A and B are shown apart, each in its own frame.
Chain A
Amino acid sequence: MNRLLAATLLSLVSSPVLACDAVQLGTIEVEQAWSRASIGTSRPGVVYLTIRNAGTEDDALVSIDTPISGMPMLHETVVTDGIASMPHAMEVPVPADATVALEPGGYHGMLMDLTQVLKEGESFPVTLTFRNAGEVTVPVSVQGVGATDAGCSENNG
Protein backbone atom coordinates (compact mmCIF):
# COMPACT_ATOMS: atom_id res chain seq x y z
CA MET A 1 0.00 0.00 0.00
CA ASN A 2 1.41 3.42 -0.84
CA ARG A 3 1.88 6.04 1.82
CA LEU A 4 -0.77 8.43 0.54
CA LEU A 5 -3.41 5.72 0.55
CA ALA A 6 -2.32 4.65 4.02
CA ALA A 7 -2.64 8.22 5.27
CA THR A 8 -6.09 8.52 3.73
CA LEU A 9 -7.22 5.31 5.36
CA LEU A 10 -5.82 6.38 8.69
CA SER A 11 -7.81 9.60 8.58
CA LEU A 12 -10.94 7.66 7.73
CA VAL A 13 -10.33 5.29 10.60
CA SER A 14 -10.24 8.19 13.03
CA SER A 15 -13.41 9.73 11.55
CA PRO A 16 -15.68 10.90 14.37
CA VAL A 17 -18.85 9.78 12.56
CA LEU A 18 -20.39 6.85 14.37
CA ALA A 19 -21.47 3.86 12.36
CA CYS A 20 -24.61 3.55 14.43
CA ASP A 21 -25.84 6.92 13.19
CA ALA A 22 -28.09 6.93 10.14
CA VAL A 23 -26.73 8.43 6.92
CA GLN A 24 -29.33 10.06 4.70
CA LEU A 25 -29.48 10.06 0.88
CA GLY A 26 -32.77 11.55 -0.29
CA THR A 27 -35.46 9.23 1.00
CA ILE A 28 -32.92 6.46 1.60
CA GLU A 29 -31.45 6.02 5.07
CA VAL A 30 -28.52 3.72 5.79
CA GLU A 31 -27.64 2.72 9.33
CA GLN A 32 -25.93 0.13 11.51
CA ALA A 33 -23.19 -0.61 9.00
CA TRP A 34 -20.81 -3.10 10.56
CA SER A 35 -18.18 -5.68 9.77
CA ARG A 36 -16.20 -8.33 11.59
CA ALA A 37 -12.55 -8.06 12.56
CA SER A 38 -10.29 -9.97 10.18
CA ILE A 39 -7.49 -12.37 11.00
CA GLY A 40 -4.83 -11.11 8.60
CA THR A 41 -5.91 -10.07 5.11
CA SER A 42 -6.19 -13.34 3.20
CA ARG A 43 -9.77 -14.10 4.20
CA PRO A 44 -12.64 -12.12 2.70
CA GLY A 45 -14.29 -9.52 4.91
CA VAL A 46 -17.97 -8.77 5.16
CA VAL A 47 -20.28 -5.75 5.43
CA TYR A 48 -23.78 -5.71 6.89
CA LEU A 49 -26.11 -2.72 7.09
CA THR A 50 -29.74 -1.66 7.18
CA ILE A 51 -31.40 0.39 4.43
CA ARG A 52 -34.71 2.19 4.88
CA ASN A 53 -36.52 3.54 1.84
CA ALA A 54 -39.03 6.10 3.10
CA GLY A 55 -39.89 7.14 -0.44
CA THR A 56 -42.74 6.10 -2.72
CA GLU A 57 -40.52 4.63 -5.44
CA ASP A 58 -38.72 1.32 -5.46
CA ASP A 59 -34.95 1.48 -5.53
CA ALA A 60 -32.12 -1.04 -5.43
CA LEU A 61 -28.60 -1.26 -4.08
CA VAL A 62 -26.60 -2.14 -7.18
CA SER A 63 -22.97 -2.01 -6.02
CA ILE A 64 -20.59 -1.34 -3.16
CA ASP A 65 -17.07 -0.02 -3.13
CA THR A 66 -14.46 0.46 -0.43
CA PRO A 67 -10.75 1.25 -0.36
CA ILE A 68 -10.10 -1.69 1.97
CA SER A 69 -11.08 -4.33 -0.61
CA GLY A 70 -9.66 -5.04 -4.05
CA MET A 71 -12.87 -6.75 -5.03
CA PRO A 72 -16.03 -5.78 -3.16
CA MET A 73 -19.22 -7.53 -4.28
CA LEU A 74 -22.81 -8.01 -3.24
CA HIS A 75 -23.54 -11.60 -2.24
CA GLU A 76 -26.50 -13.50 -0.92
CA THR A 77 -26.16 -16.60 1.23
CA VAL A 78 -28.83 -19.06 0.17
CA VAL A 79 -29.53 -22.47 1.63
CA THR A 80 -31.01 -24.87 -0.93
CA ASP A 81 -31.75 -28.47 0.06
CA GLY A 82 -29.64 -27.90 3.16
CA ILE A 83 -26.59 -26.71 1.19
CA ALA A 84 -25.33 -23.18 1.80
CA SER A 85 -23.95 -21.27 -1.16
CA MET A 86 -23.09 -17.63 -1.67
CA PRO A 87 -23.96 -16.44 -5.18
CA HIS A 88 -23.24 -12.93 -6.43
CA ALA A 89 -26.32 -10.72 -6.10
CA MET A 90 -26.86 -8.44 -9.10
CA GLU A 91 -28.71 -6.06 -6.79
CA VAL A 92 -30.47 -5.86 -3.46
CA PRO A 93 -34.04 -4.63 -4.00
CA VAL A 94 -35.05 -1.75 -1.72
CA PRO A 95 -38.82 -1.40 -2.24
CA ALA A 96 -40.72 1.79 -1.47
CA ASP A 97 -41.65 2.20 2.18
CA ALA A 98 -39.59 -0.80 3.23
CA THR A 99 -36.55 -1.70 5.31
CA VAL A 100 -34.02 -4.13 3.92
CA ALA A 101 -31.11 -5.59 5.84
CA LEU A 102 -27.81 -6.98 4.71
CA GLU A 103 -27.45 -9.35 7.63
CA PRO A 104 -25.75 -12.60 8.69
CA GLY A 105 -27.02 -15.54 6.67
CA GLY A 106 -28.54 -13.38 3.92
CA TYR A 107 -27.41 -10.51 1.74
CA HIS A 108 -23.93 -9.22 2.55
CA GLY A 109 -21.18 -7.13 1.11
CA MET A 110 -18.31 -9.54 0.41
CA LEU A 111 -14.91 -7.86 0.62
CA MET A 112 -12.36 -9.92 -1.23
CA ASP A 113 -8.64 -9.06 -1.38
CA LEU A 114 -8.54 -6.99 1.82
CA THR A 115 -5.90 -4.27 1.63
CA GLN A 116 -5.58 -4.00 5.41
CA VAL A 117 -6.37 -5.89 8.58
CA LEU A 118 -9.80 -5.00 9.97
CA LYS A 119 -9.38 -4.31 13.67
CA GLU A 120 -12.18 -4.34 16.20
CA GLY A 121 -13.15 -0.81 17.22
CA GLU A 122 -11.97 0.80 14.00
CA SER A 123 -14.08 1.77 11.03
CA PHE A 124 -13.76 2.03 7.26
CA PRO A 125 -15.86 3.72 4.57
CA VAL A 126 -18.13 1.89 2.13
CA THR A 127 -19.73 3.66 -0.81
CA LEU A 128 -23.15 2.33 -1.75
CA THR A 129 -24.61 2.93 -5.21
CA PHE A 130 -28.38 2.89 -5.56
CA ARG A 131 -30.03 2.69 -8.96
CA ASN A 132 -32.15 5.81 -8.42
CA ALA A 133 -30.85 7.58 -5.33
CA GLY A 134 -27.21 7.55 -6.41
CA GLU A 135 -24.16 7.20 -4.18
CA VAL A 136 -23.61 7.56 -0.47
CA THR A 137 -20.58 6.75 1.68
CA VAL A 138 -21.16 5.32 5.14
CA PRO A 139 -18.75 4.45 7.96
CA VAL A 140 -18.63 0.74 8.80
CA SER A 141 -17.75 -0.14 12.38
CA VAL A 142 -15.56 -3.20 12.86
CA GLN A 143 -16.90 -5.55 15.53
CA GLY A 144 -15.33 -8.73 16.92
CA VAL A 145 -14.59 -11.85 14.85
CA GLY A 146 -17.67 -13.55 16.33
CA ALA A 147 -20.03 -10.53 16.31
CA THR A 148 -23.59 -10.97 15.12
CA ASP A 149 -24.76 -7.35 15.03
CA ALA A 150 -23.61 -3.75 14.83
CA GLY A 151 -23.39 -3.42 18.61
CA CYS A 152 -25.55 -0.29 18.54
CA SER A 153 -27.54 0.33 21.70
CA GLU A 154 -30.95 0.15 20.05
CA ASN A 155 -29.95 -3.25 18.74
CA ASN A 156 -29.25 -4.58 22.19
CA GLY A 157 -32.58 -3.65 23.72
Chain B
Amino acid sequence: MKRRTLLQAGALSTGAVVFMLGLGWWQSRHSDEAPSGTLPLPIDRMSFALTDQHGDTVEAADWLGQPTMVFFGFTWCPDICPTTLSAISDWLEELGPDADHLNTVLISVDPERDTPEVLGDYLSNFDDRITGLTGTLPQIEQAAADFRATFRKVQSEDNYTMDHTAGVFLFNADGRFANIIDHHEDPRYAVPKIRRVLE
Protein backbone atom coordinates (compact mmCIF):
# COMPACT_ATOMS: atom_id res chain seq x y z
CA MET B 1 0.00 0.00 0.00
CA LYS B 2 2.73 2.36 0.95
CA ARG B 3 4.62 1.48 -2.22
CA ARG B 4 1.56 2.05 -4.37
CA THR B 5 1.06 5.49 -2.89
CA LEU B 6 4.65 6.35 -3.54
CA LEU B 7 4.43 5.19 -7.14
CA GLN B 8 1.43 7.42 -7.68
CA ALA B 9 3.33 10.29 -6.20
CA GLY B 10 6.11 9.44 -8.61
CA ALA B 11 3.85 10.20 -11.52
CA LEU B 12 3.44 13.68 -10.10
CA SER B 13 6.93 14.31 -8.89
CA THR B 14 9.60 12.23 -10.52
CA GLY B 15 12.35 13.78 -8.46
CA ALA B 16 10.62 13.13 -5.18
CA VAL B 17 10.03 9.46 -5.85
CA VAL B 18 13.73 8.81 -6.31
CA PHE B 19 14.37 10.33 -2.91
CA MET B 20 11.49 8.61 -1.17
CA LEU B 21 12.06 5.12 -2.52
CA GLY B 22 15.66 5.40 -1.52
CA LEU B 23 16.78 3.30 -4.50
CA GLY B 24 19.94 5.28 -4.76
CA TRP B 25 22.28 2.96 -6.63
CA TRP B 26 22.05 4.88 -9.86
CA GLN B 27 22.70 8.25 -8.34
CA SER B 28 26.11 9.55 -9.05
CA ARG B 29 27.95 8.90 -5.84
CA HIS B 30 29.84 12.10 -6.44
CA SER B 31 26.78 14.27 -6.81
CA ASP B 32 27.06 15.57 -3.26
CA GLU B 33 30.54 16.81 -4.01
CA ALA B 34 29.45 18.51 -7.20
CA PRO B 35 27.03 21.34 -6.49
CA SER B 36 25.44 22.74 -9.61
CA GLY B 37 27.47 25.53 -11.09
CA THR B 38 30.77 23.78 -10.44
CA LEU B 39 32.88 23.67 -13.58
CA PRO B 40 34.04 20.46 -15.24
CA LEU B 41 37.64 19.39 -14.69
CA PRO B 42 40.11 20.13 -17.47
CA ILE B 43 40.23 17.08 -19.75
CA ASP B 44 43.82 16.24 -18.79
CA ARG B 45 42.67 15.79 -15.19
CA MET B 46 39.70 13.59 -16.08
CA SER B 47 40.03 9.87 -15.38
CA PHE B 48 37.08 8.25 -17.15
CA ALA B 49 37.34 5.35 -19.59
CA LEU B 50 34.29 4.49 -21.69
CA THR B 51 33.39 2.45 -24.79
CA ASP B 52 32.32 4.04 -28.07
CA GLN B 53 29.64 2.80 -30.49
CA HIS B 54 32.26 0.78 -32.37
CA GLY B 55 33.32 -1.05 -29.21
CA ASP B 56 36.61 0.85 -28.81
CA THR B 57 37.80 2.18 -25.46
CA VAL B 58 37.99 5.97 -25.19
CA GLU B 59 39.87 7.73 -22.41
CA ALA B 60 40.02 11.43 -21.62
CA ALA B 61 43.59 11.76 -22.92
CA ASP B 62 42.40 10.62 -26.38
CA TRP B 63 40.59 13.95 -26.77
CA LEU B 64 43.59 16.19 -26.11
CA GLY B 65 44.97 18.04 -29.10
CA GLN B 66 41.51 18.73 -30.53
CA PRO B 67 38.69 20.85 -29.15
CA THR B 68 35.87 18.86 -27.58
CA MET B 69 32.09 19.20 -27.29
CA VAL B 70 30.33 16.83 -24.85
CA PHE B 71 26.78 16.33 -23.64
CA PHE B 72 24.97 13.75 -21.55
CA GLY B 73 21.81 11.95 -22.61
CA PHE B 74 20.28 8.57 -23.40
CA THR B 75 18.58 7.04 -26.40
CA TRP B 76 15.32 6.16 -24.63
CA CYS B 77 14.81 9.91 -24.11
CA PRO B 78 12.00 11.02 -26.45
CA ASP B 79 12.17 14.78 -26.11
CA ILE B 80 15.28 16.66 -25.08
CA CYS B 81 17.94 14.21 -26.33
CA PRO B 82 16.86 13.95 -29.98
CA THR B 83 16.28 17.71 -29.87
CA THR B 84 19.84 18.31 -28.64
CA LEU B 85 21.25 15.81 -31.14
CA SER B 86 19.40 17.55 -33.97
CA ALA B 87 20.64 20.93 -32.80
CA ILE B 88 24.21 19.64 -32.65
CA SER B 89 23.85 18.08 -36.11
CA ASP B 90 22.69 21.48 -37.39
CA TRP B 91 25.64 23.24 -35.76
CA LEU B 92 28.08 20.74 -37.25
CA GLU B 93 26.51 21.19 -40.66
CA GLU B 94 26.80 24.95 -40.37
CA LEU B 95 30.45 24.65 -39.30
CA GLY B 96 31.11 22.26 -42.18
CA PRO B 97 34.64 20.81 -42.49
CA ASP B 98 35.80 23.18 -39.69
CA ALA B 99 34.10 20.79 -37.27
CA ASP B 100 35.87 17.69 -38.63
CA HIS B 101 38.53 18.02 -35.93
CA LEU B 102 36.09 18.67 -33.09
CA ASN B 103 35.52 15.73 -30.74
CA THR B 104 31.72 15.70 -30.58
CA VAL B 105 30.53 13.26 -27.95
CA LEU B 106 27.31 12.00 -26.39
CA ILE B 107 27.88 10.22 -23.07
CA SER B 108 24.98 7.93 -22.23
CA VAL B 109 23.65 8.03 -18.68
CA ASP B 110 21.65 4.84 -19.27
CA PRO B 111 24.11 1.93 -19.24
CA GLU B 112 21.33 -0.65 -18.79
CA ARG B 113 19.82 0.06 -22.21
CA ASP B 114 22.47 1.96 -24.18
CA THR B 115 24.94 -0.67 -25.28
CA PRO B 116 27.52 0.35 -27.91
CA GLU B 117 25.37 -1.31 -30.62
CA VAL B 118 22.22 0.51 -29.49
CA LEU B 119 24.09 3.82 -29.43
CA GLY B 120 25.51 3.22 -32.91
CA ASP B 121 22.10 2.36 -34.31
CA TYR B 122 20.53 5.46 -32.78
CA LEU B 123 23.32 7.85 -33.74
CA SER B 124 23.15 6.74 -37.38
CA ASN B 125 20.17 9.13 -37.58
CA PHE B 126 22.35 12.16 -36.81
CA ASP B 127 25.61 13.75 -37.98
CA ASP B 128 28.17 10.96 -38.32
CA ARG B 129 30.81 13.05 -36.54
CA ILE B 130 28.98 12.45 -33.22
CA THR B 131 30.60 9.75 -31.09
CA GLY B 132 28.49 7.89 -28.54
CA LEU B 133 30.08 6.63 -25.33
CA THR B 134 28.71 4.20 -22.78
CA GLY B 135 30.07 1.87 -20.13
CA THR B 136 29.28 0.28 -16.82
CA LEU B 137 27.44 2.31 -14.21
CA PRO B 138 30.66 3.01 -12.23
CA GLN B 139 32.39 4.09 -15.46
CA ILE B 140 29.59 6.51 -16.27
CA GLU B 141 29.58 7.77 -12.68
CA GLN B 142 33.27 8.52 -13.08
CA ALA B 143 32.64 10.44 -16.31
CA ALA B 144 29.82 12.40 -14.69
CA ALA B 145 32.07 13.22 -11.76
CA ASP B 146 34.81 14.44 -14.13
CA PHE B 147 32.32 16.80 -15.78
CA ARG B 148 30.62 17.70 -12.46
CA ALA B 149 27.48 16.44 -14.17
CA THR B 150 24.66 14.53 -12.49
CA PHE B 151 22.18 11.90 -13.51
CA ARG B 152 19.65 9.72 -11.75
CA LYS B 153 17.18 7.05 -12.64
CA VAL B 154 13.52 7.88 -12.18
CA GLN B 155 11.32 4.80 -11.93
CA SER B 156 7.61 4.89 -12.74
CA GLU B 157 5.70 1.61 -12.73
CA ASP B 158 7.46 -0.66 -15.24
CA ASN B 159 9.27 2.15 -17.06
CA TYR B 160 12.08 4.42 -16.09
CA THR B 161 13.62 7.55 -17.42
CA MET B 162 16.80 9.43 -16.56
CA ASP B 163 17.22 12.94 -15.24
CA HIS B 164 20.55 14.33 -16.40
CA THR B 165 22.66 17.42 -16.93
CA ALA B 166 21.32 19.15 -20.02
CA GLY B 167 24.06 21.55 -21.13
CA VAL B 168 26.64 21.03 -23.87
CA PHE B 169 30.23 21.39 -22.60
CA LEU B 170 32.96 22.94 -24.72
CA PHE B 171 36.70 22.45 -24.17
CA ASN B 172 39.76 23.93 -25.83
CA ALA B 173 42.24 21.68 -27.64
CA ASP B 174 44.54 21.75 -24.59
CA GLY B 175 41.70 20.38 -22.46
CA ARG B 176 40.77 23.58 -20.62
CA PHE B 177 37.04 23.99 -20.05
CA ALA B 178 35.76 26.79 -22.29
CA ASN B 179 31.99 27.20 -22.14
CA ILE B 180 28.56 25.65 -21.81
CA ILE B 181 25.83 25.88 -24.43
CA ASP B 182 22.55 25.92 -22.53
CA HIS B 183 19.63 23.75 -23.47
CA HIS B 184 17.56 26.75 -24.52
CA GLU B 185 20.38 28.73 -26.07
CA ASP B 186 19.60 30.68 -29.20
CA PRO B 187 21.26 28.79 -32.07
CA ARG B 188 22.77 32.09 -33.25
CA TYR B 189 24.99 32.05 -30.14
CA ALA B 190 25.82 28.35 -30.13
CA VAL B 191 27.87 28.25 -33.33
CA PRO B 192 30.06 31.27 -32.40
CA LYS B 193 30.79 29.60 -29.04
CA ILE B 194 31.95 26.48 -30.89
CA ARG B 195 34.01 28.55 -33.32
CA ARG B 196 35.88 30.05 -30.39
CA VAL B 197 37.23 26.63 -29.33
CA LEU B 198 37.99 25.71 -32.94
CA GLU B 199 40.29 28.69 -33.43
Residue of B82, B83, B126, B164 with most chain A CB atoms under a 10 A cut-off: B83
CB distance from B7 to the nearest CB of A (A): 12
Interface bits B24-42 vs A (CB < 8 Å: 1, else 0): 0000000000001100000
A 48-85 contacts with B by CB, 8 A: 71, 73, 75, 77, 79, 81-85
Q: How far is the CA of A43 from the CA of B184 in the complex (A)?
A: 24
Check B80 against A83 for contact (C-beta < 8 Å): no
DSSP majority for the B interface?
Answer: mixed
Given contacts A39-B121, A45-B78, A75-B79, contact A83 B164 (CB under 8 A): yes
Instruction: State which size class the interface on B falls in.
Output: 20 to 34
Q: Number of contacting residues on A, CB 8 A?
A: 33
Q: How far is the CA of A108 from the CA of B122 in the complex (A)?
A: 21
CB distance from A107 to the nearest CB of B (A): 9
Q: Which of B11-19, B58-66, B95-103, B191-199 contacts A (4 or more CB under 8 A)?
A: B11-19
Q: How far is the CA of A42 from the CA of B14 in the complex (A)?
A: 21
Check B13 against A87 for contact (C-beta < 8 Å): yes
Q: How far is the CA of A104 from the CA of B85 in the complex (A)?
A: 12
CB distance from A60 to the nearest CB of B (A): 16
B 144-184 contacts with A by CB, 8 A: 150, 154, 159, 161, 163-167, 183-184
Interface residues of B (CB under 8 A from A): 11-15, 36-37, 75-76, 78-80, 82-83, 85-87, 89, 121-122, 125-126, 150, 154, 159, 161, 163-167, 183-184
